[in-house]
Amino acid sequence: MPAETHVEGVPIGRDEVLELIRDRLADILENIEPSEIGEGDSFADDLDADSLALIELVEALEEELSERSAGFRIEDDDLEDLKTVRDAVDYVVSRLG
């Protein structure tokens, strides 16, 4: 693959994906620290993240991960299945496969 569309590197692990999601969520939500975000937390019920916050999270993840995996994308149809932080981590890890 051409260098501009694929970045070689160490594969990203589950723990790193979790940290990335926590960091981006904390940036977006502003009133919470990454360490306060648990894997079992519901975006809506526990973190009070609205649909706009989730769209911002998806955009941040796509931007960050497209540097590691060419063309990384979270499909719009899959968004409704991502209810918790764990759902998002599992989804990203499976997509990076």
Cα 84 to chain centroid, rounded: 11
Query: Closest Cα to residue 43, out of 25, 31, 59?
Result: 25
72, 62 in Cβ contact below 8 A?
A: yes
- Our answer to whether residue 78 is catalytic in this structure is no
Its sign, for the CA torsion 29, 32, 36, 40, is: negative
From the list 50, 78, 81, 90, the catalytic residue is 50
Question: Annotated catalytic sites, by residue?
Answer: 50
